[in-house]
Structure 1
């Protein structure tokens, strides 16, 4: 069996059959996003619970067709093994957060990541659009947000304690039309784009554009870490952000909308509550990092992302909130992948491929699901993002899709090396090889801060 993520069941048959891309489809009752795929001498048949299930069956057929099927110009007729696959996801939320605020990811690479998520049967792209270091969402009502907040004069290079800088400006933003295009492209691949505008902390880019918003002034931040300058909690600032979020809602149809709420030193919880209430009044579900549990009563529809371990996520469940598990010690994919001295900018705790594959979300029978997070302070290009994400993201996909139960890492690693890495090669993904970085993937002399 060469499929990844591992399906609910795979029953091999005898022989192979020619496949030209055509198959029969019918709708049947079953789990959401589920399907049954039958390959026989009579042809290929898919029985799917819904459109998403049919799409996932297509991804399985693509895998069965061999690595060449992942190229921009796939082969014509291929040979498929006779088999039957029964499959459906374990979790409804199978997400990836990409931080495009610290380092801007060009639109074509963002679209490429939608394809990579879809190929792994992941279904949520959480976009961290704003932070101290950049504002990436075009605001037509407040254009200085992207015109000023979208650019910084320099960037810290390597760990902030070293004092090193890149010595070049950085920036960019997505127009609303860009983001509508992204949303439509993702929807066609059954991926939901969840936007996030972070308040009241991580807001220096907005404050640089409109100084009256902040407790103190200053430009777009060129450093990493936690900035003590937060948004003012007066009503005029809250009104400003109500308008910003209304623009966001006009672009993103996602039911869930992120408001951040994290690492706000001295931040006012009333700000978070009022924005959460505004989103709920607009028929959306607020989505906040686990610090939002400390700001007082929130709409019960609020979704909590548990990143500082999982205990706070369990507490949120007890309070009646839906939860997405994303604990930093397990699924922060910007963290270093080994203790090898050639790992580029080694930060955070060591998080190996095996560590990700053996992750088991706490409260698995109660949570919405889980997501892997890619913070980009030290991922300043699509090549660096690929290196951090893959193949660990392939392991994470198996965690959130495949059935619960013991996982055999040795079997997974064999399947990955023999079958899935060639697919990533065909897609042009510059992943980290299993035995360590290639020479051009290292960054000699650039300091990190491993924990």
Structure 2
């Protein structure tokens, strides 16, 4: 049954007569079912075993604050097998998050099968080594790393996510972070070289030849054939010395394909952007403010609040500590809409996403540790009204951490890492 209100909204009534759900739309129905699961308690989050049968009598009327409630998962630096991506879809759905942004390519690996250019995965999907810890002082692991998703794999992920009302947004990064592609097809680059085994900003970027733009138009055509999402990521970040014309060409190509280009906030520096471009503001909030004032839609993801690979405390026990300290409380206190936006400008903020870069997260267990429980705080920020609940941490401890336990999520305990979650002797680069 439909109810009035914003998309994704619902009304749930529990009484002696049973449970009544009224939803604005199909996504609202899914959100209501996730609320019902929460009311049933931690046992409802287990894959098997006795399920709870009793829930409290209540009425819940709710809807999301933002349309874009996302997570960027970097599967380029360290590949996550398909089963782990499917698991992440489940985790997003359980937290009423509805966008999974997959960072599919970078200097360190190409993860998307392109039938027109098979060497992108034959050559570009693996590297012969990986830095273990910060590049300024750490050694190497001494073993290859790689993997990629076939187009059938990705169609399966897309369908699995769609059934849970999660949109999968793909990203092919250009013109920087492209060494894996250049290793496969050297004519794309200004310099040669293999798939990169280090971290940081690589000075080797794509060249500005028209043939390179034509190459990537074919790549994006295959990407758009696999991913039905309205928004298609083209990167655009950290490309030293590049003039931006390739970004503009691919942005226009995406628009001609009936989609919307989505780039990191450096795309604002590449010249006038085509109408319809969506900007991800990661270098603070300034990019988002500029984009909104120029008439572009914005996804807020400033590194100081929602980069979940950043260290969670200043304790020496934090494994491979990088970035600034970003605590659970910091994430929860964040407000996604900059106060500087006025008039109609706040309406340009589609929502926000948390970014999980994986240079130093080389397994699903390490990703769990970095993401949770901070991702639970983020989920509440993008769902709920701007006012904060002083009881959030207590609710998390008493009610939600047991749900994560039931799901098998290896989160960071509130009082610091377990002994087996530490990596003593592996240097980071804290700021």
Normalising by the residue count of structure 2, what TM-score does the alignment of the two structures yield? 0.97
1:431 corresponding residue in structure 2: 411
2:426 corresponding residue in structure 1: 446
2:298 corresponding residue in structure 1: 323
1:388 aligns with 2:363: no
Structure 1: which 5+ residue stretches go unaligned? 1-25
Corresponding residue pairs, total: 424
CA apart distance, 1:239: 0.2
Distance in 1 (CA, whole Å) between partners of 2:4 and 2:425 is 57
Distance in 2 (CA, whole Å) between partners of 1:153 and 1:258 is 27
CA apart distance, 1:268: 2.6
Pairing 1:71-82 to 2, within 5 Å after superposition = 71-73=46-48, 75-76=50-51, 78-82=53-57
Return the match for 1:184 from 150, 155, 159: 159
Q: Deviations over 1:285-322 (max 9, x none)?
A: 00000000011122110000000000111110011000
SS of match in other structure, 1:429? coil
Normalising by the residue count of structure 1, what TM-score does the alignment of the two structures yield? 0.93
SS of match in other structure, 1:81? coil
SS of match in other structure, 1:84? strand
| Runs of 4+ with >2 A deviation | 74-77, 363-366
CA apart distance, 1:431: 0.3
Q: Deviations over 1:373-406 (max 9, x none)?
A: 0000000000000000000000000000011223
1:13 corresponding residue in structure 2: none
1:400 aligns with 2:375: no
Return the match for 2:354 from 360, 372, 388: 372
Distance in 1 (CA, whole Å) between partners of 2:51 and 2:408 is 20
Distance in 2 (CA, whole Å) between partners of 1:215 and 1:312 is 29
Cα 1:326/1:178, change in 2 over 3 Å: same
CA apart distance, 1:36: 0.5
Q: Deviations over 1:153-207 (max 9, x none)?
A: 0000000001411111000000000000000000000000000000000000000
1:422 corresponding residue in structure 2: 402
1:332 corresponding residue in structure 2: 307
Structure 2: which 5+ residue stretches go unaligned? none
Bigger Cα displacement from structure 2, 356-365 vs 120-129: 356-365
SS of match in other structure, 1:62? helix
2:329 corresponding residue in structure 1: 354
SS of match in other structure, 1:208? helix
CA apart distance, 1:366: 3.6
SS of match in other structure, 2:54? strand
SS of match in other structure, 2:280? strand
2:316 corresponding residue in structure 1: 341
Return the match for 1:267 from 226, 242, 253: 242
Contact 1:358–1:407 (CA<8 Å) still a contact in 2?
A: no
1:19 corresponding residue in structure 2: none
SS of match in other structure, 2:349? coil
1:119 corresponding residue in structure 2: 94
1:67 aligns with 2:42: yes
